């Protein structure tokens, strides 16, 4: 199915038999992976899943509604720290995760509402400031270890210990998989179309009865909540969190994932997260050349492929499908 | 089929019986490390380059007990999440025998549980944070004079020898700076109890990476302090003393070892400042002809010969060698039958070793092998010692 | 010293930092209003120019009066090359795509600096031998006066360029409507190249004036760059006078907050100011909204 010809096509989550095969293979691979590779790769895969959530959350915000954010490490930090505080106060795991998501969502409102009137560079700098402010507040907040950071334990849920790499991987995979599925559904729903309408022509969207303020804020809230969830998963994964870890560089990396992967496509965010996490892993033995190489790769992607990695994938797919036309 | 299975089992048992600890073969010992080689903290990656150079130098001299030293080092970009990944990889895939150096307090904290769980010894964390000595668990051996002790000794010298009455501190708002503050506060309290007339003028912090120190300088001058302790990074210190000069404020400055940077010391505003040091220093830092012969030899034969690209950063380069020194000593002492057990035992038996970069290195009484500093003053002729080796 | 003297001193120190922010912000705004690119490589372009100057000063022992202009020329060339080799041929010409391109460029340039010049700190000599000048209870350093003056001269030069030269008028035309400018026969490519060169010169000038007050290393401009962004946003991304106003407001406010409110939250406060300004005026103090057609 090369083109979407009917409204039902538009509504489908997985389009066409080949897509089913790809999705099935990817799912099977993700499930089998911990038994195929060594522990450190399981760790890196889990980190990829966490970063993929952040990249997805940014993709909803930047890709679907066109609001740029250079402060998503701030939401990640908020999620991670709320999770730690909640578990320290004896909240069970899932409630602690929920608390992290809720607090981040509230922060999303706090940032989203003043951002309604902002666009482009103004919004970029305002969100950048949000990220820095979160970092500074945490650095001076004694309750959560201030600049020394704090240790985070892996959870025990209903007597099941998730300390091991595989166990924790499956926990993250389950939660990340569920949220990814929700976001893919959201994109196809009327909300997703409203998001895209505000991005492409906000005045026209408003004329068509889409409440700009409502949808723009909603995008911020969803994005912040998902990033907060990623934060709650990030803490126990790394085992130790410190304010300096949630810096501007990390926020920039998340934006890189989203754009390099392919802006406006949710699968692109997944590709981008995998690409950047993998690039970091490969470059860790490049010594003094690593930063230059990283920058050069990013430049190359932006210069060669306007729609990012996912765009390239779509083109390759189109080429084979329509071959030899 | 049964016979085949039995054969495999026997073979496996035999192989297991022969296998030494991870990372040791007949010809090699594999050691792991991490440090930032990209991003804003990349300057500290020099430590890992220096250790690699030191190992190649030792290998060209014939290695240690017939084995070559190999360093497997990872760039973590100063991001704890990547440190964990790197340490996992070094343990799971590369099977390192032990860790040496490892840059960064936060990064080390993130790595510590993994290293302990794997039972891997870790020698010479490249940070002066107290936590690594306190939570050594018999596996971590530190030799970076800790920041609290450093600040304590600097304060004591200022009050007892220089007669300081009012000491202020300029510190980075993180674990490093706060430990300096802790040392200052405890020591001033002790000195007051001992009858000295001394107060803390002001506690002035700055956020890592910010470059405008105008307020900090104004507050320090406003406190009327005659002595300022500096626990910052070199760039912040350079900006601060520039502001001091503009304000015509001339306190006695005492700088932490992290500030030992040739470019900072060349700043005319740093004339007369005291620097604390826990290593022997080469001529390239203290001025031609004043260097310690051991440090001069290592700088020339290891850094200049094997890693000329880091020769412009002599302190971090030599510090890298210093962090690896205890490990090399212990590998030598453990002999040909190298296991982690014999390696740790050899580390614990190091006692009063004084022909290396440290004044004196001992793990007999604890896991902090070196906890002394010397104070040197910036003069037009270079750095001049103004104290003996000091310790608590 | 009295509280009033302290206040006066804070104003003076803040203003001298403000002139560095102003130069950074001017470069950012100049490029943004002509090309719509939020240039995250701006700081690294400046650092690259400063490394050139450092090499000329210390290796070739050129006098400052010669090294400074040569470094600016080098920066202009780097700026033009960035435009010709990276920005123009890039297939992703969206605002965000170009922003990401400059992020990649920032990382690559920083990595290149580290590779070529090392990650160690370097001491950059000052323009003039420093002297302290007292003015009532306030003391000024000769270097910071010269720095501020050089900054003002550069700002005036930029103003003259934009107002009185054909190139300046062309830049303004391209800034308004690139397609119309092209249709009217303006050499848009040359104009854009010149804009990149001018922005890079401003970046290098800011870095060169800032370097002697701290230590030169590949990350030197990280903080001034983010402050420059803040200043530009406060003033309005498409207003050059706004950039200067925003920079001085920020420089002075930072000191006042640090002195009288809180040292720990000095930097966060800068962003709080941004948010307040933006909530009241979404396009900055002196910026104007783009007219959108549906």
Contact A126 C271 (CB under 8 A): yes
Q: How far apart are CA B254 and CA B231, in angstroms?
A: 9
Q: Is B258 in the C-facing interface, judged by CB distances under 8 Å?
A: no
Q: Which chains touch C (3 or more CB pairs under 8 A)?
A: A, B
Q: Which of C47, C221, C209 is nearest to C144 (CA)?
A: C209
B-facing residues of A in 225-254 (CB < 8 A) are 234, 237-242, 244-245, 249-250
User: What one-character DSSP code corresponds to residue A102?
Assistant: H
Q: Is residue C241's pLDDT more than 60?
A: yes
Q: Which of B193, B202, B196 is nearest to B163 (CA)?
A: B196
Question: pLDDT digit string (tens) for B121-159?
Answer: 999 999 999 999 999 999 999 999 999 999 999 999 999
Contact B246 C259 (CB under 8 A): no
Question: pLDDT digit string (tens) for B308-322?
Answer: 999 999 999 999 999
The more confidently predicted of residues B100 and A287 is: B100
User: What one-character DSSP code corresponds to residue B302?
Assistant: I
- The predicted model gives B358-372 an average pLDDT of 93
Token couple for B56: 């190649």
Domains, in order of start, for chain C? 3-280 (1.10.3470)
B123 forms bridges with which residues in the sheet?
B100, B141
Q: How far apart are CA B361 and CA B372, in angstroms?
A: 10
A-facing residues of C in 248-267 (CB < 8 A) are 264-265, 267
C159 forms bridges with which residues in the sheet?
none
Predicted pLDDT of residue A119: 83
Question: pLDDT digit string (tens) for B190-237?
Answer: 999 999 999 999 999 998 888 889 889 999 999 999 999 999 999 999
Q: Is residue B11's pLDDT more than 60?
A: no
Question: pLDDT digit string (tens) for C74-103?
Answer: 999 999 999 999 999 998 888 889 999 999
Q: How far apart are CA A281 and CA A111, in angstroms?
A: 33
Q: How confident is the model at residue A38 (pLDDT cuts 50, 70, 90)?
A: confident
Predicted pLDDT of residue A15: 67
Cβ neighbours of A138 (radius 10 Å): 26
Q: How far apart are CA B253 and CA A277, in angstroms?
A: 44
Quick one: A293 exposed, middle or buried, by C-beta within 10 A (0-12, 13-18, 19+)? Answer: middle
Q: How far apart are CA A155 and CA A97, in angstroms?
A: 11
Q: How confident is the model at residue A201 (pLDDT cuts 50, 70, 90)?
A: confident
Predicted pLDDT of residue A4: 66
C contact test, residue of A295, A297, A307, A308 with most C CBs within 10 A? A295
Q: How far apart are CA A149 and CA A155, in angstroms?
A: 19
Report whether B131 contacts B148 (CB < 8 A). no
Lowest mean pLDDT among A44-58, C101-115, C270-284: C270-284
Question: pLDDT digit string (tens) for B38-75?
Answer: 888 889 999 999 999 999 999 999 999 999 999 999 99
Predicted pLDDT of residue B12: 46
Q: How confident is the model at residue A1 (pLDDT cuts 50, 70, 90)?
A: very low
The more confidently predicted of residues C130 and A97 is: A97
Predicted pLDDT of residue A3: 61
Q: How far apart are CA A73 and CA B297, in angstroms?
A: 46
Q: Is B86 in the A-facing interface, judged by CB distances under 8 Å?
A: yes
ipTM, two decimals = 0.91
Contact C139 B234 (CB under 8 A): no
Which among A136, A249, A284 has CB closest to B207?
A136
- The predicted model gives C162-171 an average pLDDT of 89
Q: Is residue A60's pLDDT more than 60?
A: yes
Cβ-proximal residues to A164 (8 Å cutoff; 6+ apart), any chain: none
Token couple for C219: 């990350």
Q: How confident is the model at residue B15 (pLDDT cuts 50, 70, 90)?
A: very low
Question: pLDDT digit string (tens) for B227-271?
Answer: 999 999 999 999 999 889 888 899 999 999 999 988 999 888 899
Q: Which residues on C lie below 8 Å from B236 (Cβ)?
A: 214
Quick one: A150 exposed, middle or buried, by C-beta within 10 A (0-12, 13-18, 19+)? Answer: buried
Contact C101 A62 (CB under 8 A): no
Q: How confident is the model at residue C290 (pLDDT cuts 50, 70, 90)?
A: low
User: What one-character DSSP code corresponds to residue A154?
Assistant: P
Predicted pLDDT of residue A148: 82
Question: pLDDT digit string (tens) for A161-188?
Answer: 888 889 999 999 999 999 999 999 998 8
Predicted pLDDT of residue A105: 97
Q: Which of C176, C162, C149 is nearest to C241 (CA)?
A: C162
The more confidently predicted of residues A125 and C13 is: A125
Q: Is B248 left (phi over 0), alpha (psi -120 to 50) or beta?
A: left
Backbone φ, ψ for residue B67 (5° rounding): -110, 145
Token couple for A22: 């790809």
Q: How far apart are CA B289 and CA B159, in angstroms?
A: 31
Query: In chain C, which residue's Cα lies nearest the Cα of A63?
Result: C96
Which among C86, C272, C274 has CB closest to A125?
C274
Helix (H) and strand (E) counts in chain B: 15, 12
Predicted pLDDT of residue C178: 84
A-facing residues of B in 198-227 (CB < 8 A) are 207-208
Domains, in order of start, for chain B? 8-145+292-348 (3.40.50.2300), 147-277 (3.40.50.2300)
User: What one-character DSSP code corresponds to residue C291?
Assistant: P
Total residue length of chain A? 325
Domain boundaries, chain A: 33-247
| Minimal C-alpha gap between B207 and chain A (Å) | 8
Q: Is B308 in the C-facing interface, judged by CB distances under 8 Å?
A: no
- The predicted model gives C141-162 an average pLDDT of 83
Q: Which chains touch B (3 or more CB pairs under 8 A)?
A: A, C
Q: How confident is the model at residue C2 (pLDDT cuts 50, 70, 90)?
A: low
The more confidently predicted of residues B8 and B210 is: B210
Is the four-CA dihedral C25, C30, C31, C36 of positive or negative sign?
Answer: positive
Q: Which residues on A lie below 8 Å from C107 (Cβ)?
A: 291-292, 294-295, 298
Cβ-proximal residues to A108 (8 Å cutoff; 6+ apart), any chain: A75, A217, A220, A221, A222, A223, A224, A225
Cβ neighbours of C174 (radius 10 Å): 25
Q: Is C268 in the B-facing interface, judged by CB distances under 8 Å?
A: no
Report whether B31 contacts B327 (CB < 8 A). yes
C contact test, residue of A63, A121, A308 with most C CBs within 10 A? A121
User: What one-character DSSP code corresponds to residue B375?
Assistant: E
Token couple for B11: 């073979």
* B222-225: long-range pairs with CB below 8 Å, 24+: B222/C1, B222/C6, B223/B166, B223/B168, B224/B166, B225/B166, B225/B167, B225/B168, B225/B201, B225/B251
What secondary structure does DSSP assign to C122-178, as a single string?
A: BPPPPSS---EEEETTEEEEHHHHHHHHHHHHHHHHHHHHHHHSHHHHHHHHHHH-H
Token couple for A273: 């997260």
Cis peptide before B233 (omega within 30 of 0): no
Q: Which residues on C lie below 8 Å from B214 (Cβ)?
A: 10, 13-14, 17, 254-255, 258
Report whether B218 contacts B191 (CB < 8 A). no
Question: pLDDT digit string (tens) for B16-32?
Answer: 444 568 999 999 999 99
Task: Please report the number of interchain residue pairs, chain B to chain C, with beta-carbon separation below 8 angstroms.
Answer: 126
Q: How far apart are CA A250 and CA A76, in angstroms?
A: 10
């Amino acid at each position: 199915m090369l083109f979407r010809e009917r409204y039902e096509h538009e509504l489908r989550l997985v389009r066409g038999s080949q897509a089913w095969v790809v999705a099935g293979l990817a799912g099977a691979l993700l499930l089998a992976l911990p038994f195929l590779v060594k522990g450190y790769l399981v760790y890196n895969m889990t980190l990829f899943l966490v970063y993929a959530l952040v990249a997805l959350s940014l993709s909803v915000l930047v890709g679907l509604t066109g609001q740029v954010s250079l402060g998503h490490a701030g939401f990640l930090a908020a999620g991670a720290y709320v999770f730690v505080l909640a578990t320290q106060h004896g909240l069970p795991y899932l409630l602690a995760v929920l608390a992290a998501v809720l607090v981040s969502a509230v922060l999303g409102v706090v940032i989203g509402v003043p951002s309604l009137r902002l666009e482009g560079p103004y919004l970029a700098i305002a969100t950048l400031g949000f990220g820095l402010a979160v970092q500074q507040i945490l650095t001076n907040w004694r309750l959560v270890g201030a600049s020394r950071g704090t240790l985070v334990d892996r959870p025990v849920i209903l007597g099941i210990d998730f300390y091991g790499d595989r166990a924790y991987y499956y926990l993250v995979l389950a939660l990340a998989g569920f949220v990814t599925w929700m976001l893919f559904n959201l994109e196809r729903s009327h909300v997703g179309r409203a998001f895209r309408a505000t991005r492409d022509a906000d005045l026209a969207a408003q004329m068509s009865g889409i409440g700009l303020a409502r949808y723009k804020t909603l995008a911020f809230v969803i994005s912040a909540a998902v990033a907060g969830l990623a934060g709650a998963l990030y803490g126990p994964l790394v085992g130790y969190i410190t304010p300096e870890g949630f810096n501007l560089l990390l926020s920039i990396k998340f934006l890189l994932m989203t754009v390099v992967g392919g802006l406006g496509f949710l699968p692109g965010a997944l590709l981008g997260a995998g690409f950047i996490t993998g690039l970091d892993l490969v470059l860790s033995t490049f010594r003094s050349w690593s930063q230059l190489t990283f920058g050069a790769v990013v430049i190359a992607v932006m210069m060669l492929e306007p729609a990012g990695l996912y765009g390239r994938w779509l083109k390759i797919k189109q080429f084979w499908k329509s071959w030899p036309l | 089929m049964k016979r085949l299975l039995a054969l495999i089992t026997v073979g496996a048992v035999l192989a297991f019986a022969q296998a030494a600890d991870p990372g040791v073969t007949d010809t090699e010992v594999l050691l792991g490390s991490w440090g930032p080689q990209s991003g804003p903290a990349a300057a500290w990656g020099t430590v890992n380059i220096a250790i690699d150079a030191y190992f190649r130098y030792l290998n060209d001299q014939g290695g240690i007990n017939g084995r070559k030293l190999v360093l497997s080092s990872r760039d973590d970009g100063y991001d704890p999440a990547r440190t964990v990944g790197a340490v996992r990889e070094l343990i799971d895939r590369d099977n390192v025998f032990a860790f040496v150096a490892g840059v960064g307090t936060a990064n080390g904290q993130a790595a510590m549980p993994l290293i302990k769980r794997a039972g891997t010894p870790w020698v010479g964390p490249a940070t002066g944070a107290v936590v690594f000595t306190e939570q050594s668990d018999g596996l971590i051996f530190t030799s970076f004079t800790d920041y609290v002790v450093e600040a304590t000794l600097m304060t004591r010298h200022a009050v007892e020898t220089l007669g300081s009455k009012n000491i202020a501190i300029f510190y980075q708002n993180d674990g490093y700076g706060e430990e300096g503050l802790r040392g200052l506060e405890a020591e001033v309290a002790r000195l007051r109890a001992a009858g000295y007339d001394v107060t803390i003028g002001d506690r002035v912090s700055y956020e890592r990476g910010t470059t405008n120190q105008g307020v900090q300088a104004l507050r320090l001058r406003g406190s009327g302090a005659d002595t300022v302790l500096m626990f910052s990074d070199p760039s912040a210190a350079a900006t601060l003393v520039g502001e001091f000069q503009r304000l015509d404020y001339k306190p006695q400055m005492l700088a932490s070892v992290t500030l030992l940077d040739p470019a900072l010391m060349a700043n005319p505003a740093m004339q007369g400042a005291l620097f604390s040091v826990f290593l022997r220093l080469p001529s390239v830092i203290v001025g031609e002809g004043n260097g310690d012969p051991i440090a001069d030899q290592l700088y020339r034969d290891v850094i200049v010969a094997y890693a000329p690209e880091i020769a412009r950063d002599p302190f971090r380069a030599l510090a890298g060698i210093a962090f690896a020194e205890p490990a090399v000593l212990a590998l030598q002492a453990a002999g040909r039958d190298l296991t982690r057990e014999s390696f740790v035992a050899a580390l614990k038996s190091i006692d009063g070793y004084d022909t290396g970069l440290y004044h004196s290195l001992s793990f007999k009484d604890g896991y902090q092998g070196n906890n002394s500093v010397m104070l040197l003053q910036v003069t037009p002729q270079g750095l001049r010692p103004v104290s003996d080796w000091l310790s608590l | 010293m009295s509280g009033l003297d302290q206040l006066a001193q804070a104003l003076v120190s803040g203003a001298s930092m403000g002139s560095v922010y102003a130069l950074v912000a001017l470069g950012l705004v100049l490029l943004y209003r002509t090309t719509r690119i939020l240039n995250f490589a701006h700081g690294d372009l400046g650092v690259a120019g400063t490394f050139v100057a450092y090499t000329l000063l210390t290796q070739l022992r050129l006098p400052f009066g010669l090294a400074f202009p040569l470094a600016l020329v080098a920066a202009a060339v780097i700026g033009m090359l960035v435009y010709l080799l990276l920005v123009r041929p890039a297939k992703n010409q969206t605002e965000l795509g170009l922003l990401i391109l400059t992020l990649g460029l920032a990382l690559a340039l920083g990595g290149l600096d580290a590779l070529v010049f090392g990650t160690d700190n370097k001491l950059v000599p000052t323009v003039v031998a420093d002297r302290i000048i007292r003015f009532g209870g306030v003391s000024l350093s000769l270097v910071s006066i010269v720095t501020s003056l050089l900054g003002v001269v550069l700002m005036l030069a930029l103003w003259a360029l934009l107002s009185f030269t054909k190139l300046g008028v062309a830049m303004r035309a391209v800034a308004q409507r690139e397609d119309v400018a092209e249709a009217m026969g303006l050499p848009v490519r040359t104009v854009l190249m010149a804009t990149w060169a001018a922005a890079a010169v401003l970046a290098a000038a800011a870095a060169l004036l800032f370097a002697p007050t701290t230590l030169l290393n590949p990350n030197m401009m990280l903080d001034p760059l983010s402050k420059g962004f803040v200043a530009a946003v406060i003033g309005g991304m498409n207003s050059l006078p706004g950039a200067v106003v925003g920079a001085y407001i920020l420089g002075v406010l930072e000191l006042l907050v640090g002195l009288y409110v809180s040292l720990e939250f000095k930097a966060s406060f800068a962003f709080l100011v941004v948010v307040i300004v933006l909530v009241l005026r979404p396009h900055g103090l002196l910026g104007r909204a783009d007219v959108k057609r549906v």
